[in-house]
Structure 1
Amino acid sequence: MIREELEDLEDKFLHPKAARSKDSKGRGKPEKKCELRTDFQRDRDRIIHSKAFRRLKHKTQVFLSPLGDHYRTRLTHTLEVMQIAKTIAKSLRLNEDLVEAIALGHDLGHTPFGHAGEKILSDILGKPFRHYAHSITVVEKLEKDGFGLNLTFEVLDGIVKHSKGKGPIFDESKLAKTLEGQIVRLADIIAYVNHDIDDAVRAKIISLDDIPKDILKNLGYTHGERIHNAVKDVVLSTIENNYEKVVMSDKMLKLIEDLREFLFANVYLCDIIKEEFDKAYKVLFDLYKFYENNYDAVPELFRKAAKDKKTAIVYFIAGMTDRYAIEEYKRIYLPSNWHI
């Protein structure tokens, strides 16, 4: 059987500490094995074919509903994370299929309007809305008309442990059980601190001259140099650490943290983006109030998946793309043109 041959190849060529498909802790609901694909390959395919994955192309990364063709969306961010993560995994002889599945699924639970949407839904719930936790809800309760994707433990663990926000990059309480999951966490921040510079420069919010010179000198002057240097550092540092964890050197970690702080101060919280976030806040909050008063308009899928009315509405809104939320807002709150 082809799957068994692939599993044998994993045994022969992967590092001893790599996750192996045949050793997976399995799925929540046992299934018959595929004749062609390993369990992690099946997870990757299920994620790619999911509705939530397709919606990522119309969800904000940093710039809300950008008109330019070259700004990142949540989907292109996801693909960049996957590419960086697979490069690291291949260099370390870890399981690329597992890395690919985690990377492709890591942002499935993101809201419309990026982290602004996350903040809005947190205010509505009265407690933090975490996109990484909602990603698990998406793949377990909402996809496939409520049946879920039934992913393996290792992929679910990598998805829920990928995010760090403004918190520490290395947090033992949020460390994935597999080295492959740990790779995706680092690939995520390597991707976004670099591509967000690219987009911010394109939007003329900052110029490269604004970035502290010591960061550029030590990390790299171009997008490609910065990613290459960060990836190389992760690979070499992890080997030096004897694969105990996937790590960065102290020097690289400081550079990445300083660059992230620069982006928070000069891009993510700048007046231009804040103005757009304020508009997004009104759109999503007004949508929530409408569905609160017209609960029958919330699809049954979300009402069945949630424990209460408020949560069901939040699930529904969280799944919207930017453009769907805007069009729904127009349909509900703005007058339509008369047709004669």
Structure 2
Amino acid sequence: MTIRESLEKLEEEILSPWAAKAHHSKGRLVSEPECPLRTCFQRDRDRIIHSKAFRRLKHKTQVFLAPTGDHYRTRLTHTLEVAQIARTIARALRLNEDLTEAIALGHDLGHTPFGHAGEEVLNELVPGGFRHYEQSLRVVDFLEKEGRGLNLTFEVRDGILKHSKGLGPILTPDEDGPATLEGEVVRLADIIAYVNHDLDDALRAGLIREKDIPENCLRILGRRHAERINTMVSDVIRETLAAEDRTLHLSAPVLKALEDLRSFLFEKVYRSPAVRREFEKARRILTDLFEYYLQQETVWEKEMSCYEEGTPKERIVCDFIAGMTDRYALYLYEKLFIPKPFAGGL
């Protein structure tokens, strides 16, 4: 028996009946030999961590564009916080931690530079629109490894594609939800992570003050960052274990406070005039870059040589821009559109 087989056997013995088991995975897009050491979900996690797209997350915006302060969150720190929260919940519910972690680490690989501002711009410019969760799946299926992709398992790919809730009901199950409970855990962990760390960053930036936060959110969830996360994580574990019905649960007071906190952030932070002003600058940068590169066939053919003949040029330019970090987009914009001081010498 290989180490992988012994791990798969252990999963069968200790994980919940509702957990996804590596041995029963629906498999990969392209069949390949199993690893003797790692389960399929462990391999997926490792492939994501070693991908170029994962490394670029450290220079992509969470809320504040290209922040100069050392302590503001980026897409990478957000991803790690989601993974930590999701693993805590998964372990307590006896779900598959490896699958949970792989989904969490890969869920935002398709995010654009400048956060949701970039997503809005590409959604307007690209035929058929742009959604970051679909782009995350495109990254792992195709864009990584020069067009070969990471060849991840169905369960990880499904969790990545279906991780986003937007402003929809936090716990209402729907037919388009993740196929695994691990995917549902990541979707909830994503919300828990961003409402807490974005609140923390907004306070640090002076965009809001603590007295602005709805009192019921502070009273129910807690007045400190760590306390709020602990309240939400403990509540979902306790309520879900008590229900025993393969569905995630939150108590009514905590769910209401979480919904109110999310609404508060959308109104006072994400849609605030200060943030929107910076987003409009990002809009101009990405629009100009998009229009410029549509005309530069030799450039994007060199950058994206993995495409099949006949691929729409808008799709190629979209992939190119979506993969940029904030600082690379700023660098290209300055290089292409900002005049350099004349040094003389006529």
TM-score by length of 2: 0.95
Q: How far 1:338 sits from its partner (Å)?
A: 6.0
Any runs of at least 4 consecutive aligned residues in structure 1 with deviations exceeding 4 A, and if so which? Answer: 337-340
Distance 2:309 2:71 in 1: 36
Aligned to 2:73: 72
Distance 1:152 1:117 in 2: 29
Distance 1:303 1:296 in 2: 13
Q: Deviations over 1:244-279 (max 9, x none)?
A: 212322322211111011001100011111111010
Aligned to 1:233: 235
Cα–Cα, structure 1 residues 254 and 163, in superposed 2: closer, same or farther, change >3 Å?
same
Q: How far 1:292 sits from its partner (Å)?
A: 1.2
- Output aligned runs, 1:1-340, within 5 Å: 1-169=2-170, 170-298=172-300, 299-301=303-305, 303-304=307-308, 307-336=311-340
Residues 108 and 135 in structure 1, CA contact (< 8 A), matched pair in contact too: yes
Distance 1:215 1:302 in 2: 49
**Residue type at the aligned position of 1:295:** E
Identity score, percent:
57
Extract unaligned runs of 5+ from structure 1: none
**Residue type at the aligned position of 1:19:** A
**Residue type at the aligned position of 1:308:** P
Distance 1:145 1:306 in 2: 17
Residues 79 and 104 in structure 2, CA contact (< 8 A), matched pair in contact too: yes
Q: Deviations over 1:282-337 (max 9, x none)?
A: 10000011111112211234644983111111111000000000101111111235
Residues 136 and 160 in structure 2, CA contact (< 8 A), matched pair in contact too: yes
Distance 1:312 1:185 in 2: 29
Residues 141 and 305 in structure 1, CA contact (< 8 A), matched pair in contact too: no
Task: Report the RMSD for the aligned CA atoms in angstroms.
Answer: 1.5
Residues 127 and 314 in structure 2, CA contact (< 8 A), matched pair in contact too: no
**Residue type at the aligned position of 1:241:** A
Residues 26 and 152 in structure 1, CA contact (< 8 A), matched pair in contact too: yes
Residues 122 and 129 in structure 1, CA contact (< 8 A), matched pair in contact too: yes
SS of the counterpart of 1:336?
A: coil
Q: How far 1:16 sits from its partner (Å)?
A: 1.6
Residues 302 and 315 in structure 1, CA contact (< 8 A), matched pair in contact too: no
Residues 219 and 229 in structure 1, CA contact (< 8 A), matched pair in contact too: yes
Distance 1:276 1:11 in 2: 51
**Residue type at the aligned position of 1:255:** A
287-296 or 28-37: bigger deviation:
287-296
Aligned length: 340
Residues 59 and 322 in structure 1, CA contact (< 8 A), matched pair in contact too: yes
SS of the counterpart of 2:135?
A: helix
**Residue type at the aligned position of 2:175:** S
Q: Deviations over 1:212-239 (max 9, x none)?
A: 1111001111111110110111111211
Distance 1:333 1:295 in 2: 18
Q: Deviations over 1:120-149 (max 9, x none)?
A: 001102543110011111001100111000
Q: Deviations over 1:29-80 (max 9, x none)?
A: 0010001000000000000000000000000000000000000000000000
Residues 221 and 231 in structure 2, CA contact (< 8 A), matched pair in contact too: yes
**Residue type at the aligned position of 1:313:** V
Extract unaligned runs of 5+ from structure 2: none
SS of the counterpart of 1:147?
A: coil
Residues 82 and 193 in structure 2, CA contact (< 8 A), matched pair in contact too: yes
Distance 1:336 1:303 in 2: 35
TM-score by length of 1: 0.97
45-54 or 242-251: bigger deviation:
242-251
**Residue type at the aligned position of 2:217:** I
